[in-house]
Structure 1
Amino acid sequence: MIEMSIGPYETTLNLQLWKAYADEIEISIETPSGEKLPGLSEKIGTQRYRAGETDLLVYYGKPGPFQVTQEIYFEFIPAETYLTSGIWKLYLRGRRIKEGNYNLWLPGGNILNPVTGFYRPTAEETLTIPSTAARVITVGAYDSGLNAFADFSGRGGKQLVYFKPDLVAPGVDITAPVPGGGYSGMTGTSFAVPFVTGAAALMMEWGIVRKNDPFLWGEKVKAYLRRGAQPQPGFEQYPNASIGWGRLCVSGSIPEI
């Protein structure tokens, strides 16, 4: 059973469940009032249910040309103004299980009511596209002022076929230009990524332009950045799902010649 809270005055919400397409499960939903909706039917097209002040649309996806997983998408729509608030319960019952792994996702970016969320969430496997791609350099964030990991930064997990993220860079209270002129302190992994982008550019300039390493691009840049990454207090094992190979260090990433 998964418990999810919908806070007061929430106007819209979507929930994604991802699982192996080979696994067959039965899904049922219980509303905050205790009403149990009919068991969901795995069929092509959209199913619609009414639950209190909320209309629930459910869509079963199919595997695609590049992935063998299945998305089950839930859209909560207010019948009038707001969604039915309280604790919603999602029951998953295995009918024919071969792998047994699943993940559920709610929208990120602080767009939801602070009370809205899972009751027992886990931080693992919270990386988002495109950081989940194998050949990109995936960057997390840490607080350079406190020298501490930033808890908002997405994590990798055991279900990924490769370790992510690759490393972390400063991403808390970063001075950046703002619309209309001036500067302000910004926080987020979006502000950590430019540090690594600049580091990669400097390394490629050293390698390619200055002819110290003419083939310094792609996975080679990633390998150098991983090797030069520095340990972060609070972590003993590397790589790990939070900071990968460690903190960005350009000087440690350029090999001696």
Structure 2
Amino acid sequence: MEKSYIIVYQGSLDEVINDLLKNQIEKYIILNDNILVIYVPIDFDELKLTKIDTIAWWQNSAPMSSLIDITNNMSEGENTTSAAGTDYIYKNPYINITGKGILIAIIDSGIDYLNPDFINLDGTTRIVSIWDQESTKKDPPEGLLYGSEFTRDEINQAIKENDDTLTKDNIGTGTMAAGIASGNGRLNREYKGVAVDSELIIVKLREYKDRYKKGKTNYEKTDFLAAIKYVLDIAKKEKKELIINLTVGLMPKSIIEITMLETFKDIGKSGIVVVSGAGNEGNTDIHYQGVITSLEEKNDITIQVGEQLNLDIRIVAVGPDKIGASIISPGGEVSYQIMYSPDFFVYRGKFNLEDTAYEMKFTYPWLESGYQELIIRLLDVKPGIWNVRLAPEFIIRGEYDLYLPNKNLMSENTRFLDPDSVATITLYATPENVITIGGYNGRTDSLWIGSSKGPVKNGGIKPDIIAPCVDIISTYKDKSYNTATGTGVSSSVVSGVLALMMEFIKEQTNEYEEALYTQQLKTYLMLGATKNEIYTFPNVSQGYGVLNLKDTIISISNNFE
């Protein structure tokens, strides 16, 4: 067993590595010029990190979960052609774009590489490479610690021999995302994806079990960031434009100034675009927000806890405010009251009646927001009604948010009793240089009920647009098709659309670099989006409207006339 941390380092790389080795930290990955990740034994004392001069800041890894839910509803499913409106492209004699020359990265549960929808007519793969983080069959990619990399040539040989043993997608969400964005429909033309000639970079993330509830699978932030490094490195070698489709998400956050994604210098360059599902927490009771009006005031927030193993509660304050907390067990025991301290000390205790241990850590300022983050972790938590008691130390605005983990990692019965559905955008979908896609339900012609909502406080409107995401039919494991729902579905639709847009722009002008930045592409999506006149746009549920491929292509064409 091991755990992992994200490290923001300072000084020369040689000095950093030397300091790590001095402290018996031998497993590390240099991600870029700002951050690295370390993997250490489960009993590693994290306070060591505060004493290493070349470490400017550190944080524990955090769990991530899928933004795609396999629904097994083929009888009522909608094909991707209908959802994305791609008939306008593929039946138009004056437009000849298929996503050719554009890479789409899928970082999820892997891929069924033998599915004909990922194979060209000549029998060769459309997959540039696969990094299976769990495999031990081959060496890991250069600069990385674990897993196996499979090249295009090796995948082609496996296809030729009908060998399905290189790597497997045991869950199906990665294959689903790849098929929606890029499947060519060779197995069934009715179920082809959006950009049928785009190519794929695949990362199969390592799976972790039972973090909060037995039987639930999560991924880890450190492994995910290593995957970002990998796909950027591959795109650079291939010298092609890249769309990174984020179909897994972290816990939502209400305030974000910068994320770890933005430490990768290539993200934000022309031709490198990140697309993320907004999150699936619009109706899941994992967010609470409130206001404290005086230093004498105490606020109690009630959480119903179901049958699960552990629980994390995150408390975020706005601006320079500092708000401490304690937690009250179902039996009436009160924990230590943690308040601001300039150190990284972790306070530990135990509720004797419930036999539940707790850990509490107050970070100020938290690097990714510049404000407070207070984490309460309950270990071997017991079902019942728990209360978080907030105690202000310094307030100007008094606003605060509390978050529980993503709902699909927890018991169905764990929830805030008085939740709020706004400000539930998953963390890596919050930055301005990410195109954030909410979910649309084509059956009801309305917002999908589970789609996470903005805003991002101090950061403006999110999502940017919404796109179809309910029971969309696409490729599934074992050379089959299935249906899926969630904002990872809508981000996959838009990833394919962006591949078409980028190829179309390259056809319009030889000086296309300026038009392939994230902000320009996002603007075209916003301009083309359908805006129902009964709503005011932009808004925190639908952003600038519903994806409209035809009007988006027309808006691009008008710009280059």
TM-score after normalising by structure 2: 0.43
Cα-to-partner distance string for 1:96-131 (whole Å, 9 max, x where unaligned): 202322211111141211110111111111001211
Counterpart of 1:113 in structure 2 is 411
Cα-to-partner distance string for 1:127-154 (whole Å, 9 max, x where unaligned): 0121101111110111112212112111
Q: Kindly indicate whether the alpha-carbon contact (under 8 Å) linking 2:339 and 2:393 is maintained by their aligned counterparts in 1.
A: no
Q: What is the Cα deviation at residue 93 of structure 1?
A: 2.6
Equivalent-residue separation in structure 1 for 2:416 and 2:378 (angstroms)? 15
Q: 1:247 is aligned with what amino acid?
A: V
Q: Kindly indicate whether the alpha-carbon contact (under 8 Å) linking 1:141 and 1:169 is maintained by their aligned counterparts in 2.
A: yes
Q: 1:138 is aligned with what amino acid?
A: T
Counterpart of 2:463 in structure 1 is 165
Q: 1:136 is aligned with what amino acid?
A: V
Q: Note if 1:220 corresponds to 2:520.
A: yes
Percent sequence identity over aligned pairs: 28
Alignment of 1:95-134 (within 5 A): 95-134=393-432
Query: Residue 159 and residue 137 in structure 1: after superposition, are their counterparts in 2 closer, same or farther (change >3 A)?
Result: same
3-state secondary structure, aligned to 1:126: coil
Query: Residue 55 and residue 21 in structure 1: after superposition, are their counterparts in 2 closer, same or farther (change >3 A)?
Result: farther
Equivalent-residue separation in structure 2 for 1:58 and 1:45 (angstroms)? 9
Counterpart of 1:17 in structure 2 is 315
Alignment of 1:60-209 (within 5 A): 60-64=362-366, 67-78=369-380, 83-157=381-455, 159-209=457-507
Q: What is the Cα deviation at residue 155 of structure 1?
A: 0.8
Q: 2:423 is aligned with what amino acid?
A: E
Equivalent-residue separation in structure 1 for 2:416 and 2:475 (angstroms)? 35
Counterpart of 1:237 in structure 2 is 536
Cα-to-partner distance string for 1:156-193 (whole Å, 9 max, x where unaligned): 12624221110001111011222222011101111101
Greater helix share, 1 or 2? 2
Q: What is the Cα deviation at residue 231 of structure 1?
A: 2.3
Q: How many residues align?
A: 251
The one of 333, 336, 345 equivalent to 1:45 is: 345
3-state secondary structure, aligned to 2:396: coil
Q: Note if 1:3 corresponds to 2:302.
A: yes
Q: Kindly indicate whether the alpha-carbon contact (under 8 Å) linking 1:25 and 1:96 is maintained by their aligned counterparts in 2.
A: yes
Unaligned runs of 5+ in 1: none
Query: Residue 213 and residue 236 in structure 1: after superposition, are their counterparts in 2 closer, same or farther (change >3 A)?
Result: farther
3-state secondary structure, aligned to 2:376: strand
- Of 208-217 and 117-126, more deviation after overlay is shown by 208-217
Q: Kindly indicate whether the alpha-carbon contact (under 8 Å) linking 1:20 and 1:68 is maintained by their aligned counterparts in 2.
A: no
Q: Kindly indicate whether the alpha-carbon contact (under 8 Å) linking 1:21 and 1:62 is maintained by their aligned counterparts in 2.
A: no
3-state secondary structure, aligned to 1:195: helix
Unaligned runs of 5+ in 2: 1-299
- Of 93-102 and 109-118, more deviation after overlay is shown by 93-102
Equivalent-residue separation in structure 2 for 1:35 and 1:68 (angstroms)? 33
3-state secondary structure, aligned to 2:427: coil
- Of 116-125 and 175-184, more deviation after overlay is shown by 175-184
3-state secondary structure, aligned to 1:69: coil
Equivalent-residue separation in structure 1 for 2:498 and 2:323 (angstroms)? 45
Counterpart of 2:227 in structure 1 is none
Q: What is the Cα deviation at residue 22 of structure 1?
A: 2.0
3-state secondary structure, aligned to 2:386: strand
TM-score after normalising by structure 1: 0.90
Q: Kindly indicate whether the alpha-carbon contact (under 8 Å) linking 1:148 and 1:232 is maintained by their aligned counterparts in 2.
A: no
Counterpart of 1:248 in structure 2 is 547
- Of 61-70 and 149-158, more deviation after overlay is shown by 61-70
3-state secondary structure, aligned to 1:146: coil
Q: Note if 1:28 corresponds to 2:326.
A: yes
Q: 1:251 is aligned with what amino acid?
A: K
Q: What is the Cα deviation at residue 59 of structure 1?
A: 1.1
Q: What is the Cα deviation at residue 66 of structure 1?
A: 5.2
3-state secondary structure, aligned to 1:110: helix
Q: What is the Cα deviation at residue 37 of structure 1?
A: 2.4
Equivalent-residue separation in structure 2 for 1:107 and 1:101 (angstroms)? 20
Whose radius of gyration is greater, 1 or 2?
2
Q: Kindly indicate whether the alpha-carbon contact (under 8 Å) linking 1:207 and 1:213 is maintained by their aligned counterparts in 2.
A: no
Give the ranges of 4+ consecutive aligned residues of structure 1 lying more than 4 Å apart after TM superposition. none
3-state secondary structure, aligned to 2:474: strand
Equivalent-residue separation in structure 1 for 2:399 and 2:337 (angstroms)? 21
Q: Kindly indicate whether the alpha-carbon contact (under 8 Å) linking 1:46 and 1:57 is maintained by their aligned counterparts in 2.
A: yes
Equivalent-residue separation in structure 2 for 1:232 and 1:112 (angstroms)? 36
3-state secondary structure, aligned to 2:521: helix
